[in-house]
Structure 1
Amino acid sequence: MSDHSQAGDRRWAQRALARLRREAAAAPPVVLRRYPLPSSWGVSLYFRDESRSATGSLKHRMVRRLVEDAVAREEIRQDTTVVEAAAGNTAVAAAYFAQLIDVPFVAVVPGKTAQSKRERIEGYGGRCHAFDPPAGIYDEAARLAAELDGHYLDHFARAPHVEDWRGQDSVGAGLLAQVTAEEGRPPAWAVVGVGTGTTSAALGRHIRYHDLPTRLAVVDPEHSAYWPGWVTGDPRYGTGMPSRIEGIGRPRVEPAFLPPVIDLAVPVPDAASVAAMRHLATTTGWSVGPSTGTNFWGALRLAHRMRAAGEPGSIATLISDGADAYRGTYYDDDWVRGKHLDPAPHAATIDRWLGPS
């Protein structure tokens, strides 16, 4: 590579990184929402609302860091095609940031990916490359990136290395700081779902590094490997089945998942996630996605336990994304019945937990 070409790449990288910094600086403040538990409980429940990001989910921040890192390493240059294996919020955020720095983006998606999901990616200038079987999209993304002389984001492998678990800039650290400022002390519990494993691993290490009294609980949907992997201590545990709750759950334990920093793992029935998501929408007006329902179920279960034990304190969790992408699925009764999910018994459990003791 000539000196002139290297200088051109450096100038482009500086401009791209400046755009990414400006985008981060212009982001609206992250709102902390309080769920209205009865004051007599002595327990407070808070949600950090990540749905207000430009692409509507907590994946936005993670993908920005991945792109910043790849640009700084010169793995993404001005003529590089960015490739990712994803069809949901990660792919949408990757398309957004690729468009921001003016490089092409291709999302490798399963063949049955809904048109509405493809349109969200394409709305930011991305292109969808369909591939089956779904479990093969990761190898296909790596192959396609090599064929195009592009860059495979590979968020499952790379996200843990760009998350600052010591500082205050991660999602989990921000959640703890906001609740601490509101309550005057750290939360008793933090509750998060597990997708790549990055958020829980960073949060758990942050708690221990700063010697905080907060305990960390992870919530895990059906068919996911994280809860049984945590219980058995098997880092290679696999279920061979995909999660039905978008954004969290994996058929295998991903390398980023760190069981030693987790105090409690809570299995959550998929129908309970749907019931909890809908409960939040009807009682608070918060429009949230299904993984937030999973968070709420786990947090409410802990709040019920703290109430019964007479243990005061607060619980901190996340609104992972908004409801817009799920109007035709988790909020649609016909779709839910088609997936053989019955939220009604779990809605009754929520009412019982919130009722008089």
Structure 2
Amino acid sequence: MADQRRAWSDEAVRRIEADFNRSADTHLIRVELPKFPGITLYLKDESVHPTGSLKHRLARSLILYGLCNNRIGPGTLLVDATSGSTAVSEAYFAKLIGLKFVAVIPRSTSPAKIEAIRFHGGDVHMVDSASEMYPAAERLAAEAGGLFLDQFTYAERATDWRGNNNIAQSIFQQMAREDHPVPAWIVCGAGTGGTSATLGRFIRYGRYPTRLCVADPEGSVFHRHHADRSVTAPPQGACCLIEGIGRPRVEPSFVPEVIDRMIAVPDAASIGATRAIATRIGRPVGGSTGTNIHACLQLVEEMAAAGEVGSIVTILCDSGLRYAQTYYDDQWLEAQGLHWREFGQKATHLLN
């Protein structure tokens, strides 16, 4: 029996590695900023992964981590708590190795993400709020004798932060021949905290002078915890409408010590920047990309005011096609009370 399980696991790892071998690296898009000579913005386009988002990297790492720690075997039900994009990618890899996957998601998750999860063979279990996801996922996995993948705990340890083609290594390799090859800033968001942990550790491991900025929704706890470690929850009633980033609790994978700066971004500003950058590059992007762009433009203005030049790299997390009924629907935005147009006009002005 042990030999059969080992043989199954070996084949599962082979399939995942073969899938990776068939994939090209993601593009780094250069965005010129005519109003700011000497400062250039770059977008690491993670939307081109087979499952359409940055979370493709995380899902591959999480399932490999489970396999290589002998927690996944033939017939293991895989379960995770997620706002949607991770689940799409986890469903893809579960199907690749012949396993069932259940995503525990908030009811507010965009219909397009739910459709994508099911397209890749996953099932969906909905809960009313983000805080209910974790116990529901644990319970479903325990009842089936399965594995709760727990992205919020294992994201920072499942990824090899020293290299192995992680996103940080990819960025620095692709920047090598640019005008300013070592970025002044790298900007990302935080959902699990895994990406910021990987970037921050790699920067220090490579002894780069690059600084790491995390753009965080105004309603999230992360930027509050970064400023004051005693803060572990946002104020009562605080919420975030930007899917995939910002949390109501400090996740185990969030490592504030490797982050140089955090910028709190109102949801309306995220939407305004989302619309502005989508117009600038000619295709729709998700809301978390808008959060990143808002923070990037603040840093650009600060660099210009200080007479500095250099490059800023951020992440294009996913495509805006998943949000046609939300972030790109003016009626939906109005119903949420998001007054985004002024933010959009300012972002458009700075980008063009």
1:98-145 alpha-carbon deviations (Å, 9 max, x no partner): 100001111122345454332211111111123345421211111110
Determine whether 1:10 maps to 2:6: yes
CA 1:310–1:329: 2 relative to 1, 3 Å: same
CA distance in 2: counterparts of 1:58 and 1:138, whole angstroms:
22
Moved more, 19-28 or 124-133: 124-133
Moved more, 268-277 or 250-259: 250-259
Match of 1:202 in 2: 198
CA distance in 1: counterparts of 2:74 and 2:195, whole angstroms:
30
Give the gaps of 5 or more residues in structure 2: none
CA 1:98–1:245: 2 relative to 1, 3 Å: same
Match of 1:31 in 2: 27
Q: 1:135 aligns with which of 116, 120, 131?
A: 131
Indicate if the aligned counterparts of 1:272 and 1:297 stay in contact, CA closer than 8 A: yes
CA distance in 2: counterparts of 1:44 and 1:263, whole angstroms:
20
CA 1:265–1:103: 2 relative to 1, 3 Å: same
CA distance in 1: counterparts of 2:173 and 2:220, whole angstroms:
30
Determine whether 1:125 maps to 2:132: no
CA distance in 1: counterparts of 2:351 and 2:123, whole angstroms:
46
Determine whether 1:177 maps to 2:160: no
Per the normalisation by structure 1, the TM-score is 0.93
Q: 1:102 aligns with which of 93, 98, 104?
A: 98
Give the gaps of 5 or more residues in structure 1: none
Match of 2:311 in 1: 314
CA 1:267–1:111: 2 relative to 1, 3 Å: closer
Moved more, 285-294 or 255-264: 255-264
CA 1:15–1:239: 2 relative to 1, 3 Å: farther
Match of 1:76 in 2: 72
Indicate if the aligned counterparts of 1:239 and 1:251 stay in contact, CA closer than 8 A: no
CA 1:235–1:257: 2 relative to 1, 3 Å: farther
Match of 2:280 in 1: 283
Determine whether 1:150 maps to 2:146: yes
CA 1:80–1:350: 2 relative to 1, 3 Å: same
CA 1:204–1:112: 2 relative to 1, 3 Å: closer
Q: 2:84 aligns with which of 61, 74, 88?
A: 88
Indicate if the aligned counterparts of 1:105 and 1:126 stay in contact, CA closer than 8 A: yes
What's the % identity of the aligned pairs? 42
Aligned amino acid, residue 73 of structure 2 = R
SS state of the match for residue 75, structure 1?
Answer: coil
Instruction: Give me the CA root mean square deviation.
Output: 1.8
Moved more, 292-301 or 117-126: 117-126
CA distance in 2: counterparts of 1:268 and 1:165, whole angstroms:
27
Aligned amino acid, residue 124 of structure 2 = C
1:12-38 alpha-carbon deviations (Å, 9 max, x no partner): 111111000011111122111011211
CA distance in 2: counterparts of 1:118 and 1:334, whole angstroms:
21
CA distance in 2: counterparts of 1:352 and 1:38, whole angstroms:
10
Indicate if the aligned counterparts of 1:274 and 1:290 stay in contact, CA closer than 8 A: yes
Indicate if the aligned counterparts of 1:299 and 1:317 stay in contact, CA closer than 8 A: yes
Match of 2:244 in 1: 247
CA distance in 2: counterparts of 1:262 and 1:116, whole angstroms:
32
CA distance in 2: counterparts of 1:300 and 1:112, whole angstroms:
29
Aligned amino acid, residue 342 of structure 2 = P
Match of 2:345 in 1: 348
CA distance in 1: counterparts of 2:287 and 2:134, whole angstroms:
24
Match of 1:329 in 2: 326
CA distance in 1: counterparts of 2:41 and 2:329, whole angstroms:
27
CA 1:242–1:102: 2 relative to 1, 3 Å: farther
Moved more, 47-56 or 112-121: 112-121
Per the normalisation by structure 2, the TM-score is 0.94
CA 1:113–1:204: 2 relative to 1, 3 Å: closer
CA distance in 2: counterparts of 1:115 and 1:301, whole angstroms:
32
Indicate if the aligned counterparts of 2:224 and 2:231 stay in contact, CA closer than 8 A: no
Determine whether 1:236 maps to 2:232: yes
SS state of the match for residue 341, structure 1?
Answer: coil
Indicate if the aligned counterparts of 1:276 and 1:296 stay in contact, CA closer than 8 A: yes
Aligned amino acid, residue 171 of structure 1 = I
Match of 1:226 in 2: 222
CA 1:224–1:134: 2 relative to 1, 3 Å: closer
Match of 2:298 in 1: 301
Aligned amino acid, residue 302 of structure 1 = L
Indicate if the aligned counterparts of 1:275 and 1:293 stay in contact, CA closer than 8 A: yes
